[in-house]
Amino acid sequence: MIRSLNTGVSGIQQFQEEMDVIGNNIANVDTAGYKAARVSFADSFSETLRGSTGANGTSSGTSAMQIGLGVGTAAINNVYTQGGLARTGVQTDLAISGEGFFIVRDSVNGADFATRAGDFRVDANGYLITNIGLRVQGFSDPALSTRGDVLIDTQGRPATADPAATFVSFAIDREGIVKVRLSDGTEYVRGQVLLQRFSDPQALVKEGFNLYSGIDVAGPLGGGSAPTSAVPGTNGLGRVESGALELTNVDLANEFSKMITTQRAFQASARIITTSDEMLQELVNLKR
């Protein structure tokens, strides 16, 4: 009798966790680059009442007798499928069409993070940054040879450009190349946004603000503690779409369907507890 009570409790606990995951998915239905999570269950350790025996020439074998002790959460994984792309018209908004992540760096402590959210902006110093000030990584020079913070300014202008020419506009193409246009009509390459991909993205850890840590253990391109990003469109990476954002991949219809299933499973687990309690009550009442 006690086994069924514990089994019901384990069901309640796990289905509550699944409801928490579903609720978080629905809450982030409008979060750029958010990847939905899902829960995988596994049965708990079973109590063995009788072990199995093999057959021989004189007798047949017997099967094992086991009683399960409930359910547990095997994993909570992120689903890294492509989200839809929404055109925004903002030049600093970048979306990845295909595989890959942007790498952004905290300029204070040098920590790197991966992200699929490309709602970037340019700060007063010309750095391409996230909404919380992390700098987008790539080639930081016109020669595309030095890796570092991506800058959008007039440094590295060609010798043929008018020294008095001022910054007019910029554009980022599908390979992540940043091109700057000056007031005299000169256009030149200023840098390039690079991407990173992982052989085991499930090893990434959500840190909030659409950021993932754990880059070095997720199997990045280049490997090591300082993994090397690559040019968009190479090494299995997707392309960069300027003036667009990747939407969340949360499927609301699927989430609400899972919510109903989870709610009913929670109710069924609760019913196991109440039914077991009624049976215990009947057992106690036998003394009357």
Residue by residue, what is the 3-state secondary structure of 144-197?
CCCEEECECCCCCCCCCCCCCCCEEEEEECCCCEEEEEECCCCEEEEEEECEEC
Q: What is the pTM assigned to this prediction?
A: 0.88
Burial of 188 (0-12, 13-18, 19+ CB in 10 A): middle
What's residue 280's pLDDT? 87
Q: Can you state the percent helix, strand and coil of the chain, rounding each to 5?
A: 25, 35, 45
Distances from the Cα of 61 to the Cα of 42, 49, 56, 64, 65, angstroms: 28, 16, 7, 10, 13
Helices (H), the chain: 2-27, 252-285
What's residue 226's pLDDT? 67
What's residue 26's pLDDT? 97
- pLDDT tens track for 73-122: 999 999 999 999 999 999 999 999 999 999 999 999 999 999 999 999 99
Longest dimension (CA), the chain: 105
Which three-class secondary structure state does DSSP give residue 274? helix
What's residue 5's pLDDT? 87
Distance CA 117, CA 114 (A): 9
What's residue 220's pLDDT? 94
What's residue 49's pLDDT? 83
Pairing of strands 101-105, 94-97: unpaired
- Per-residue pLDDT for the chain (288 aa), expressed as one digit of tens each? 678 888 999 999 999 999 999 999 999 999 999 999 999 999 888 888 888 888 787 777 888 888 888 899 999 999 999 999 999 999 999 999 999 999 999 999 999 999 999 999 999 999 999 999 999 999 999 999 999 999 999 999 998 899 899 999 999 999 999 999 999 999 999 999 999 999 999 999 999 999 999 999 999 988 766 678 999 999 999 999 999 999 999 999 999 999 999 999 999 999 999 998 888 888 888 876
Instruction: Look up residue 161 and give its two tokens.
Output: 């450009």
Mean pLDDT, rounded, of the chain: 92
